[in-house]
Each structure stands twice: as structure tokens, then as C-alpha cells.
Structure 1
Amino acid sequence: MNKFKIFSLALVASASVVKAQDIKEAKKAIDAEQFQKAKSLLKSIIKAKPSDGEANFVLGNVYLNQSIIDSAKIYYLNGLEASEKKHLNYIGLAQIDLDNKNTASATANFGLATKDIKRKDVDEFIYIGKAYMNSVNPDYTNAVASLKKALAIEPQNAQALLAIGDAYYGANNQNDAYKAYRDAFTADPTLLRAKMQLGVLLKGAKSYEEAIKSFNEVIALNANYGPVYRELAETYYKWARNKPSTSTVNLQKAITNYEKYLSLTDYSLDSKMRHADFLILVKDYKNLEVVANKMIAEDKVNPRIFRYLGYAAYENGNYDVAIKSIEDYIKVPTNKIIGRDYLYLGYAKIKKGTNAEGVVDPAVFNAGLAEIKKGVAMDPLAVEELGDFGKELFGKKQFAQAAALYELSSSNTESKNYLTDNVYYGISLYYANVNKTATAPEVVADLGKADAAFDRVLVASPTYDEAYLYKGRINNLLEKDDQIIKNYEEYITKITAKGAEELAKPATVKKIVEAYNSIGASYANTDKAKAVEYFNKTLVLDPANTYAQQSVKALK
């Protein structure tokens, strides 16, 4: 009987060790962003031992991280029925509360999670800190407060130090984040994520070369640590964006490192979706179309694939496929639509309605513009993506259509392209109306908008002298003599202040001649002496100027 008891206890101890190893392996897989492997391990633990509350909690966290809320909640509730560490699952439910902005319920659930813990327990405070910062409504102040409780009990706890580093980083406290990450790696030199985060701080500070050096130090310790290749990919991408001269080389390095990252994850559909998101980011649409078609072959059900295929098909010139794919995605009520979906649908419709000569059918353009407006209404900063399409229309002399696009972005002061878009908006409206009857109400309205656009330009960039030139031209069309004189004189004053070198440029001389002639013409009916004065200024710069010669002769 005693032998049987000893044998039974040995079995229990052995099972406990196996379970602990599996939980450890699952957490290791999560850190390596191998989520399918982690889910498989955790489900095996739960199947073998339904009483394991921690396995349910960790699995729920994986689903919550992937925004699969229903599955996360199921595992948290299952975990509450377990006999071991069931209280951890209150923390998962609390994060769902935080996501739903139900702070009272979240606080209550955190209270239940810590109600009966022992004096030296720290995991609960670490998990609570993570819940506060991983919520879709992050609260870094409470995250730090909870993690400080863990560190008060166990100052060298590497996981607590890593987590508080993340909280400081989220709160833009770079100095404390750096110290926490450094201390975490010192406390546990196997905790590669802590060392990797030191590189992430450098990346955030735009010290791209130093960040890459830091990430390569992680690779030297473990060349199979997948997340570091994702960080490398994002660093090369940002370097390419911030320094266009490096764009070609660094974008290719970004793609190569992201593919390496994927090879070290589980190649799940989620991983492939993240890959597709990255291909959109780096604008590698040829590969995106290949990836999207492969995903469709594997999983025809997941609707996001149609978004990827729609984007890629548009960029690769296959507008019918683009329209069908995006419409197939948008028409499903449960799909999460973003502003960019409507932008691409609008672009594709406009492109389809453009003939070989580059002329857009007005009805088709308006249909496409209506889709683009839906996208901007959904996401006002989506206007930042309109510039390239607007410039394409502008380059084809489709000025009215270009102006219609720029109208959407020219009033959004938060847009990074606010200044450029206002310039293009004003110029587009000017050229769209330059050959029309200036007294027509719609022309007067458009030219008024153009003038206002250049006023916004001058507020945003007072040194943009060309704005005065265009305001002079606009008021020339409107025949407003006082405004013609005012704006052209302002242009002359600004350009003259730049010195002899600028005034000697042929392009500048041509614009000054335009200004002198326009001012002279404006004075012709009210002050002939002034008019002659300005026409003579033209003749100093351009003695053969026919308009100035004839005007002086007529005024005498």
C-alpha cells in the first residue's frame, strides 16, 4: 500500500513537471510569435488537465491578442471553472472590460484576481500590468503602478522589468524604458525580447543604423529568434521612407527580413495575413497578388483575402478584379471596413472609366469620387493617400478631377500633405477655369476657393512666394484690379529680397515681367502714369516685349 502511494505521488509529480514544461514551452512560443504552436500546446494541456486555470488564461490571451474576442472569453470562463490558478482568468475578463471602456467592471475583476493571492505572488501584478497596456484603450499609468507592485516584491523579476519597460515605452518615457529593458536583460540574459526592445527604442528615435546594429546583436545570440527579423524589416522600411535615397535597397532588405520572420513563425493564416499587411506597407503589389491568390486557394472563407487581392489587382492594373474583390469584401456586414477600402474602390472605378487618351468619363469619375468620399468620411487622415492619384490626374491635365480630389485633403490641417495639397488644389482650380467665362457663377466660386487655398498656403508657409503669383493670376481672371496689384507687388517684393542671383534666373525674370505687365494693365484705366511706369519696368528686363511696347504706345 505504501509502495502504491509513493508510486501515485511520483506520477502526480511527473505530470506536474510535464505540465509546467508545456506551459513554459507555450509561453516561449508566444514570445517567438508562433501562435499556432502555442495554441496547440495549450489546448493539449487543457485536454489532458481541464482543471488547469492558467492554461485557459494564457490561451484566452492568445485569442484576445488576435482580436478573436468570443474564443478568448470562452477560455477565460472555462478557466474560472478550474481548480488551479482560476483567479488569473479574471484578469483576462478585465482586459475585455477595458476594451469596452467598462473600467468599473475591470477594476472589480482585477480585485477578484488578487483577492486571495499570497504575499510573495508577483505574476498577478505582472498580468494586470500587461492587461492595462494591451487593451485597445491602453492605460500606462495603471500598468506602471501594477508592475511596481510586482517589483516591490521581487526587484529582479525579469518579466516584470520587461513589462514595465513596455509600459514606459507606451507612455513615451524613453529613459525609464531603456533602463527597464537593460535591467531585464541583465536579470535574465536569455530574455531576448528585452534586448530586442533596446533596438526598438533606437528605431523610434530614427537612429536606424544603431537600431540595426542592436538587432544584429540579438541575432548573434540566437539566429532563430523570429521577432527580431520583423523589427529589422520595419526598421529598413522606416529608413527607406525617411531617406528616399536608400529606398530601393532598404525596401528590399525590409521584404527579405520579413520573409525570414515568417519562416521562423508557424506560417499560419494569421502570419500570412500579417505578411500581406507588410507587403501593402512596402508597396510590393506583385508579391501581394501572389500571396493573396495562394491564401484564397487555402482558405476561401476568410474575407480579408479579398481586400488584399483587390488592392494588388488595382496596383497591377487589373481594375475589374479590383472592383469585384473589394466590393465582395465590403458587402459583408460583419467585415471590418477601413477607409482605404473605399479609396481603392474609387480609384479602380475611375481608372476603369479612363480612356486610352487619359480622359475620364465624368459620370464614372463621380461614381469613383463618391466611394473615395466614403473612405475619407470613415478615416479623415486617409486624405494623405490621395496626393499621388491627384498628381497623376494633374499630370494628364485633368485639372477639374484633380481639384475634386484635393478639395478633400486641402482643409485637413492634420494631414502631413496639407501644404502640398493646398498648392495643388489652388493650381488645379486655376487651370480648370483659366479658359472659361470668368463671370459664370461656378467659375467665380472655383476661383474663390483657389484664392482661399493659397491663403492657407501662406499661413502654413509664409515664404512660399509662388502663392502671391497665383493669387495675382486668379484675380486677373476675376478682373479685380486692386487684388491684382496687391498680390503681384507682394510677389515682386518677396522675390527681390532674395537677391541678385535669384533675379538673374530666366524663370524668375519671366515671372517678374508677368507681374509688371499685369500691374500695368490694372492701372491702365485709373492711373496711366503708373501703368506706363510698370510697362517700362518690363521693357528694362525684356526690351522686345510686344505687349509692353504696344501698351506704352496706346497709353501715350
Structure 2
Amino acid sequence: MNLKPWKLTLLAALSVSGSAALAQTTGVQKALEMERYNEARATLLRQGQSNETSFELGRLYQLRGINDSAAYYFSRIPFEKKDALTMIAAGRAALAKGNATEAQTQFDAAVKASKGKDLKVFAMIAQAYAESDVKDITKALEYVKEGEAFAAKTGKDDPTLMIARGDLYQKRETGGGEAMNSYERANTADPNNVQSYVRRGQLSLRSRDYNRAKENFEKAISIDPNYAPAYNSLAETYYFAGRYDEALAQFQKYMSLAEKSPETVIKNASFLYLTGKYPEAMVEIDKVLANDPNNLTMNRLKAYSLYEMGQNDQALAAMQQYMTVAKAQGKSIPEDNVYYGKMLIKGGKTAEGAALVQDAIKADPKKAAELRKELAKAYMSAKDYPKAISTYRAMMKASEGGELTDKVYLARAYEMNEQYMPADSLYGVLLKERPEYVPGYQMRARANANLDPDSKKGLAKPYYEEYIKMANASDKPDSYKSGLVEANKYLGYYYYQKGDKNASLPYWQQALVLNPEDEQAKTAVEAITKPTKAPARRK
């Protein structure tokens, strides 16, 4: 069940029965605020029936979009002529049933019962509209204006009313400006109001102002480090900014504070998939599918993840299952053809798979370059290097030379197809454009090593030497350890077959420092350092 951002507004701590009832509902409201809905429900049910518990249960179900249950609990509160809260409850029950006219009658009665002099009544009515499915907010804003006029007498805005005002304006397509103004007014009145900072961040996120969204969410967290919704929204900000690792970290922080639900498991699985943690994603995916076998998103990600894990047969079976579900629900996306095509290519059905990817390109021409890259990668995965080469070349021609990464992938395809000369040429272009790119020297060294199989010409020597120099000078030399072992072993062998053991030995020794278990290096060091026997004396 999807919760709209504006549906997370909390009711102010209001009670008609004094401080005892207030104390009972405070923990519930905190649980709702932290999105721990089952905990809130269990607490309320333990408290037994009362006006306060019925009202909060009604709100809980309305926040979750379960309107029939919301109406039931609101209706359980007996009507009292002098009690505005009972009239607001009746109005909320009417809203849950879709009867806006009856709701207005009840809310008008609540204002009359309080003689129009209770700011909390106006705030509660505004929240009732904000937390409902009502789209026409005209009448709701009239109550807000009455509340604002009353608040003006105190000299400052009421934060609860302002947040409700902002939530109401979010229901309008063009209401973003007024909504932001409302939340800012809430923070002016209460600089430590966490909810209004989160709302401001959500509005910024909606307008793709990721930096401002991040600032607001981080401000909320600085005020209350345990405020779960801020982490959820911050995760979404990083997601839309394409920073998936950070999105996952923030969402998992959210999960540690909020309540686990099918929705959170689904979202966690999605973030794990996006960050390339496919086995971990599969654990979460299987949890959802065990209880909801026709969940569209999880069936899709199961097929995608199995492919990324190299389990192509299982991926094909999962894709068939997903396509059955998608067809029944009438929902599919162009990426489905791309993944299915890649699976077929890897399974040997190259023409059929390539046709599916081409269909995806036709369906979304704006993604043509991106999808052709996926097609080329699929050919590489299937070890169909000639087709990978032709696809990369066509793609680069269409984009007038292509990106630098395209050149790297094409060079790799040439190399895997044992076309080392064009591979070396492309790696040369890479290093000319990006001389600081350390792995590029290793790539070019390997291509040249293949052009000089016995290493007698030493074609790879200058590139491995530069690789060692650049890797050791980097801020993370440990990340290049395997490449440094490779480079030192090449140079050690080069000098050894030249007969220069003194020059050869230090390279083999360095390879052993980097990897003490390298058998080839051990053998070389032993052979070079083994003392030669003196010739026997003549008798």
C-alpha cells in the first residue's frame, strides 16, 4: 500500500478527557510518527475502547488508505452536543465514506460548538481533509483561513495548522508554492519542527532540487536522529540523484527505526538490486514472493537479479513467470525486452534475443544509445565478440565517436577476439585523453603482452612500468594489488629471459611481498637465488 507524503501528518496531542488520556495517546502518536503502524495499533487495542483510542485507530487506518476500517472506528465515538471532537470524528467518518457534504455539516457543528475560539479545532478539521482522499480543498481552506485569523491574535502561526495547510495545497497540481510557504511558516513558528523540514525536503525532491531536499532532510535528522521518515526521504533523494549506494545506506537506517512491512522489504530489495547486491536482493525478493507470489515488481527483479548473478537458466524461467504475471496485470516496461533479450543471447538464441532489444529501442528511441550498450554487453557475456565489436562500432559511429567508456569496451571486445592491434590503439586513445586513469596502463600492457607472447621485444614493459609508478602513487594502492603482482611478474620474467637475474629478482620479490602465496614468484626467487655448485677439484 502506497502512502502519499502528505498522508503522514500527525494530529496534535488533543484530548477531551484531560491529561491521563493525553499521556495514553502520546506513545501511539510517536509510533505513528515513526511509521510503526502495527505497534501503534497493538498499543491502542490494549488500551480498550475509549473516544481517544477509537479516534487514533480511525486515523491509523485512514493514513494507510483503509477507509472502511477508518470509518468504523470514527463512527464508534458517540456524538455529544457540546463536544467538538465527537463532531470532528463524525466528519472524518463521513470523509472516509466519501460523503463530503455530511463531513462539512459535522465540521461546521464542531466550530459552532467551540464558538469559533478553539485553534485546535480548526487544525484538526484541516488535518481531517489533508489525511483524506478528498481532492477539492476549497472548503478545507476556508477552515484554515478561520484558524489563521484566530492564530494571528497570538502573534504567530500555529505549526500544526501550517503543516495541514501545506498538505492540503499539495493536493493541487499548482499548489507547491503555497505548500512550501506553509511549511516554512511552521518552522518560523517552531524552528525544531521536524515534520515541516521533511515536508520541505519532499517538495524540493518533487521539483528535482536534490541539494535543497538533502539539506532539509539532514536538518530534520540533526534535530531528531531517530526520525525515521527523514531517512526514507533522504534515501529517495539519493535514488533519484543516481547515488544508489548512499540510497541503500539511508534506507537501511530507516528500516532500523521504522517497522518492517511488505512495502519496506520491497523497497529494500529494489535498492539492493540497484547497488549490484544481487544475492542479498534475492533474499528479500523471496521473502515477498513467499507471501505474494504475483507481486509484479519482485517477479521482475527476481528475473533480472538471477541474470546478473550468472544463473541464466533460472533467470529465463523467472522471466517466463514474470511475463505471465505482467500479462495478467497488463503491465510491462521496455527494460523487460532488454533483459529477456540478453538472457536469450546468453542462452544461444542470438537472433531472437537481439530482435527483442531492437524492439525495446524502437519503443523508446531516446534510450537507443543506452540500450545498444546493453546489447553489446549481452554479446560480450555470450562470448560473441564479433557481434559485440560491430554493435560498439555502430553505436560509436551514430554518436560521432562515442564516449570514452565506449572506446574501452570496444577495445576489450577486440582484445577478447584476439585483435590486439586495434585494442592497443584504442587504449592509446584512452590514455591520451585520461593520462591519470591508472587501469588504462594495465589494459594497454596486456594488449601489448599479447602482441609479444614471449616478451622478447618487451612491448608491454613501458606500460607495466608506468602502471607500477601510477598505482603506487595513488591514494589507494591496495586497490591495485592484483595488478601490481601481474606487472612485477611480467617485468621479472622479461629481465629473467634476457639473462639479467639481478634486474629480475627485485620484481619477483615484490610480487611475493604483495602475494606471499604466489607459487610462480616463489619458484622464480628460488631459482634465481639458488647457489651454483663450484666445479669439482682435480685430483
State the TM-score, normalized to the length of structure 2. 0.54
| Cross-structure match for 1:67 | 65
| Cross-structure match for 2:187 | 185
Secondary structure in 2 matching 1:57: helix
Contact 1:36/1:268 (CA < 8 Å) preserved in 2? Answer: no
Q: CA deviation at 1:110?
A: 2.8
| Cross-structure match for 2:105 | 111
Secondary structure in 1 matching 2:46: helix
Q: State how many pairs are aligned.
A: 357
Q: CA deviation at 1:263?
A: 0.9
CA–CA distance in structure 2, aligned partners of residues 128 and 14 of structure 1: 15
Secondary structure in 2 matching 1:115: helix
CA–CA distance in structure 2, aligned partners of residues 294 and 14 of structure 1: 44
Deviations 1:238-279 (A, max 9, x none): 223xxxxxxxxx221111111111111122344334434655
| Cross-structure match for 2:220 | 218
Secondary structure in 1 matching 2:164: helix
Contact 1:306/1:328 (CA < 8 Å) preserved in 2? Answer: no
| Cross-structure match for 2:265 | 272
Does 1:291 pair with 2:284? Answer: yes
Q: Which of 315, 320, 323 pairs up with 1:319?
A: 315
Aligned partner of 1:71: which letter? S
Secondary structure in 2 matching 1:316: helix
CA spacing shift, 1:236–1:115, aligned 2, 3 Å = same
Higher relative contact order (CA 8 A, sep 6+): 2
Contact 1:23/1:55 (CA < 8 Å) preserved in 2? Answer: yes
Contact 1:230/1:261 (CA < 8 Å) preserved in 2? Answer: yes
Does 1:88 pair with 2:78? Answer: no
Q: Write the mapping of 1:416-495 to structure 2, written as runs, cut at 5 A.
A: none
Q: CA deviation at 1:343?
A: 6.1
Does 1:359 pair with 2:340? Answer: no
Does 1:154 pair with 2:139? Answer: no
Contact 1:76/1:90 (CA < 8 Å) preserved in 2? Answer: yes
Q: Choose 144-153 or 259-268, whichever is displaced more.
A: 144-153
Contact 1:203/1:211 (CA < 8 Å) preserved in 2? Answer: yes
Please, which runs of 5 or more residues in structure 2 have no aligned partner? 1-14, 308-313, 380-390, 401-539
CA–CA distance in structure 2, aligned partners of residues 272 and 230 of structure 1: 13
| Cross-structure match for 1:41 | 43
Contact 2:288/2:298 (CA < 8 Å) preserved in 1? Answer: no
Aligned partner of 1:110: which letter? Q
Contact 1:236/1:251 (CA < 8 Å) preserved in 2? Answer: yes
Does 1:129 pair with 2:126? Answer: yes
| Cross-structure match for 1:232 | 234
Deviations 1:382-411 (A, max 9, x none): 96998689536865999xxxxxxxxxxxxx
Aligned partner of 1:391: which letter? R
Q: CA deviation at 1:185?
A: 2.5
Q: Which of 253, 264, 270 pairs up with 1:260?
A: 253
CA–CA distance in structure 1, aligned partners of residues 67 and 274 of structure 2: 26
Q: Choose 345-354 or 88-97, whichever is displaced more.
A: 345-354
Q: CA deviation at 1:224?
A: 1.0
Q: CA deviation at 1:160?
A: 0.3
Q: Choose 16-25 or 224-233, whichever is displaced more.
A: 16-25
CA–CA distance in structure 2, aligned partners of residues 355 and 90 of structure 1: 62
Deviations 1:1-43 (A, max 9, x none): xxxxxxxxxxxx9985332122232222222222222222222
Deviations 1:101-137 (A, max 9, x none): xxxx312223124324312244454344344444456
CA spacing shift, 1:142–1:234, aligned 2, 3 Å = farther
| Cross-structure match for 2:165 | 164
Q: Which of 297, 308, 323 pairs up with 2:298?
A: 308
CA spacing shift, 1:234–1:349, aligned 2, 3 Å = closer
| Cross-structure match for 1:401 | none
Aligned partner of 2:145: which letter? K
| Cross-structure match for 2:24 | 22
Does 1:57 pair with 2:58? Answer: no
Q: CA deviation at 1:213?
A: 3.1
Contact 1:57/1:92 (CA < 8 Å) preserved in 2? Answer: no
Deviations 1:291-344 (A, max 9, x none): 122345xxx334565641442333431434524653675698xxxx4724x767
CA–CA distance in structure 2, aligned partners of residues 388 and 90 of structure 1: 57
CA–CA distance in structure 2, aligned partners of residues 284 and 147 of structure 1: 48
CA–CA distance in structure 2, aligned partners of residues 81 and 384 of structure 1: 61
CA spacing shift, 1:187–1:74, aligned 2, 3 Å = same
Contact 1:307/1:325 (CA < 8 Å) preserved in 2? Answer: no
CA spacing shift, 1:115–1:137, aligned 2, 3 Å = closer
Deviations 1:483-542 (A, max 9, x none): xxxxxxxxxxxxxxxxxxxxxxxxxxxxxxxxxxxxxxxxxxxxxxxxxxxxxxxxxxxx
Aligned partner of 2:372: which letter? K
CA–CA distance in structure 2, aligned partners of residues 302 and 72 of structure 1: 25
Contact 1:237/1:282 (CA < 8 Å) preserved in 2? Answer: no
CA–CA distance in structure 1, aligned partners of residues 65 and 355 of structure 2: 37
Identity across matched positions, percent: 22
CA spacing shift, 1:165–1:347, aligned 2, 3 Å = same
Q: Which of 121, 141, 145 pairs up with 1:144?
A: 141
> What do you get for the CA RMSD once the two structures are aligned?
4.6
CA–CA distance in structure 2, aligned partners of residues 146 and 283 of structure 1: 50
CA–CA distance in structure 2, aligned partners of residues 351 and 237 of structure 1: 25
CA–CA distance in structure 1, aligned partners of residues 138 and 276 of structure 2: 37
